[in-house]
Amino acid sequence: MAIFETGYDLLSPDYIRNTEHILKELARSEHRLVAANLHDKPVYIVADLQLAKEIFEDGQNFTFAPSGDDGAFTEGTQAFLEEGLESTLLSSSYEDYKRTRKLFNQAFKQGYTDRARELDRFAKRHVEALLDDSNPPTIDVLDLCRRYWMPVIATVIGIDSLPYADLIELADSARALVEGNGLQGDRDAIERLAHANDTIVALIRQVAATRDVPADSALGYFLSQLDLEAAIDIARTFILGGIDTGSSALALQAHLLASDAQQRARFLAMPQQEQQTAMTELASKETPTLYTPRFAVRDVRVDGIDIPAGSFLQLAVYGLNHCANPDFDVRRGDKSACPMHNNESLPFGHARHKCPGEALARHLMPIFLDALFRRFDVTAIRSCRKEPNTFARSIGELLLDVERR
């Protein structure tokens, strides 16, 4: 099958502005593999769900981080790594990544029943306090999302004294990095992020040195399984990635439910366990991930096309997940809303490549959404600013006009 030559430059303003539209159109077309450009190098956009899953699962021929050739990095990514923010997850091999993801999941699931119940109680008390302090008729949902995640993640890690002011700055810095061209952020934003990173690492190191880390916390588990530096790196990655990614994903899902009163009512009628399952369906409709990156480890043939080693493949997840049907169904497994795409998605990753924080996110997101929409009726979406780029999509602002129920 021939490659469809688009001529797109993934860093051009026009491409960035129209990323969502382009990915959706490519997903609807008959072209499975599309050629584009990044820094004058070929990039392959995979716009077919089955082909994307095959590449996603192929740990022998593809990796999620480039190796040996830094030509695919943007200038911002290089600066990001130069500031010492590279993590075990970013630099790991396929096998190392699987082991790291397993550690994340085991850290959350150990003693799961008791820990989950206690975490539920804490998260519910915390979000209720946040909502008590909110001031209708207009609420800032993105700010609420960020303030929800910070102490919850601190509790999961096992650190009760995280510097929240620094973490708020961290979220702002991380967002500055992704506004525009992926990690093409300016040097000031990267330096602010590096400062927040150093603060968090120093705090984790200080807590670990006290030997008073809760045994059933994630940090306690990491310390029991790894050496000190590796445990600190994974805990830091959990905090750095969890706050900004979790806030963006939660704000996108809040926007989705705020947009449709009928679907919102259906979500609220579900028991908590079904709400957790529904997170996958919500994430497939409103996901911060526009693509999942893969780099060819060696020369490889894909769909009859020779792909050179080091090539960057953009798996167009957003376009594959998106359904033209304006109705959506948060009850996973119900085929009535979208027979073509329902549940055929990669919102948290797939199989061996699942998001390291999926179990935690699936557990905690419904607590926030349920509390928010039980407390407030949405009268209007005052402002929703989405910030698409070639790599991800975040919400820069989400203001809802509400009334107390």
- pLDDT the model gives residue 182: 47
Residue 342 confidence (pLDDT): 45
pLDDT tens-place string over residues 284-296: 777 777 777 788 8
Residue corresponding to tokens 């600013």: 385
Query: Which residue intervals of 158-186 are DSSP H helices?
Result: 164-178
pLDDT interval class at 181 (50, 70, 90): very low
Distances (CA, A) of 281 to 49, 75, 175: 16, 35, 25
* Torsion, CA 74, CA 76, CA 80, CA 81, rounded to 10: 30
Which residue's entry shows tokens 């040996």?
68
Q: What is the spatial distance between Cα 203 and Cα 174, in angstroms, rounded to a whole number?
A: 19
Structure tokens at 274: 């079904």
pLDDT at residue 31 above 90?
no
Cα-flanking dihedrals φ and ψ of residue 319, to 5°?
-60, -35
What's the rounded Cα separation, in Å, for the pair 245 and 20?
A: 19
Q: What is the DSSP letter of 308?
A: -
Instruction: Give the strands of the sheet with 33-38, arranged side by side.
Output: 4-9, 33-38, 41-46, 312-315, 292-296, 62-63
Least trusted range by pLDDT, from 97-106, 299-308, 362-371: 97-106
Kindly report, residue by residue over 33-43, the tens digit of the pLDDT: 888 887 777 88
* Residue 82: both structure tokens together: 């130069």
pLDDT of residue 243: 79
Q: Cβ distance 295 to 312 under 8 Å?
A: yes
Closest by alpha carbon to 152, among 130, 132, 107, 122?
Answer: 122
Q: Supply the Cα-derived Rg of the chain in whole angstroms.
A: 21
Considering 65-79, 169-183, 248-262, 302-316, the range whose residues carry the highest mean pLDDT is: 248-262
pLDDT tens digits for 312-351? 888 877 655 555 555 555 554 555 555 444 445 667 776 6
Name the range with the highest mean pLDDT among 30-34, 50-54, 212-216, 263-267.
263-267
Q: How would residue 396 be classed by pLDDT, with cut points 50, 70 and 90?
A: confident
CA 100 to chain centre: 17
Q: What pLDDT score was predicted for residue 14?
A: 81
pLDDT of residue 344: 57
Burial class (CB in 10 A: 0-12, 13-18, 19+), 345: buried
Whether the per-residue pLDDT at 55 is higher than 80: the answer is yes
Q: Which residues, 6+ apart, have CB-to-CB distance to 129 below 8 Å?
A: none
Phi first, then psi: give them for residue 396, nearest 5 degrees. Answer: -85, -20
Tell me whether residue 210 is exposed, middle or buried, using C-beta atoms within 10 angstroms of its C-beta: 0 to 12, 13 to 18, 19 or more.
Answer: exposed
Residue 116: pLDDT over 80 = no
Given this model, what pLDDT does residue 355 score? 79
Question: The tokens of 314 are what?
Answer: 């953009």
Do 214 and 111 touch, CB atoms closer than 8 A?
A: no
Residue 147's pLDDT band, with cuts at 50, 70 and 90, is: confident
pTM: 0.85
Q: How does pLDDT run across 353-372, given as a tens digit for each residue? A: 677 888 888 889 999 999 99
Stretch (H or E) spanning 9: strand 4-9
Per-residue pLDDT band at 158 (split at 50, 70, 90): confident
Torsion of CA 247, 166, 396, 398, to 10 degrees: 60
pLDDT of residue 329: 57
Phi, psi of 32 (to 5 degrees): -85, -30
Q: What is the mean pLDDT of the chain?
A: 78
Kindly report the CATH number assigned to the domain that includes residue 386.
1.10.630.10
% pLDDT > 70, the chain: 75
| The pLDDT value given to residue 299 | 93
pLDDT of residue 180: 43
Q: Is the predicted pLDDT of residue 268 greater than 90, yes or no?
A: yes
Confidence of residue 65 (pLDDT cuts 50, 70, 90): low
Our count of domains for the chain comes to: 1
What pLDDT is recorded for position 133? 92
Q: What is the 3-state secondary structure (H, E, C) of 270-339?
A: CCHHHHHHHHHHHHHHCCCECCEEEEECCCEEECCEEECCCCEEEECHHHHHCCCCCCCCCCCCCCCCCC
Task: Reduce the DSSP state of residue 301 to 3 states and report it.
Answer: strand
Q: Which residue segment(s) compose the domain that 271 sits in?
A: 4-404
